[in-house]
């Protein structure tokens, strides 16, 4: 497919908008409060004891092997937005809590800055995912 402008992309038929949703955290407190005792210390104190939180669990509305438009939401003006098209593969959660949606056969549809490298993992914070009709 050849490169098109964002106005032409807006006229293309699209399906429903797809998002990731996060499961709510449990109501158990993770921090243990340490109170300092008065007087001189005989032994070394332990640093703040916190339980390590598990990474966010993602429930996604994505359907495997379905094509999606991947629209950049970090730019305000439509003339600067980039749009990709790819088939959904999986979601990946990193230890720091970042969630990336991985695609296969990614192609650029709208490229206002020229065609450079093509990413295969997209952050759900900076992109909108719309099904291709």
Predicted TM-score (pTM) above 0.85: no
Contact 98, 39 (CB under 8 A): no
So where are the chain's domains? 1-19+57-133
pLDDT value of position 21: 62
State the DSSP string of 12-50: S-EEEEE-EEEPPPPSS--B---PPPSS--SSPPPPP-B
pLDDT tens digits for range 16-26: 888 776 555 55
Residue-averaged pLDDT of the chain: 79
Q: Provide the pLDDT confidence category of residue 84 given band limits of 50, 70 and 90.
A: very high
- The stretch 68-84 carries a mean pLDDT of 91
C-alpha span between 132 and 130 (Å, rounded): 7
User: Which residues, including other chains, have CB under 8 Å from residue 24's CB and lie 6 or more apart?
Assistant: none
* Residue 107 confidence (pLDDT) above 80: yes
Contact 49, 63 (CB under 8 A): no
Strand partners, 100: 92, 123
Quote the tokens at residue 15: 């399906």
């Amino acid at each position: 497919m050849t490169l098109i402008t964002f106005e032409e992309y807006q006229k293309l038929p699209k399906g429903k908008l797809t998002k990731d949703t996060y499961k709510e955290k449990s109501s158990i407190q993770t921090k243990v409060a340490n109170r300092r005792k008065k007087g001189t210390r005989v032994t070394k104190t332990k640093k703040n004891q916190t339980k390590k939180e598990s990474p966010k669990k993602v429930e996604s509305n994505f359907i495997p092997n379905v094509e999606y438009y991947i629209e950049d939401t970090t730019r305000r003006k439509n003339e600067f937005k980039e749009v990709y098209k790819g088939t959904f593969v999986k979601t990946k959660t990193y230890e720091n809590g970042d969630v990336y949606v991985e695609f296969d056969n990614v192609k650029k549809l709208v490229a206002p800055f020229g065609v450079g490298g093509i990413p295969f993992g997209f952050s759900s914070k900076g992109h909108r995912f719309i099904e291709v009709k």
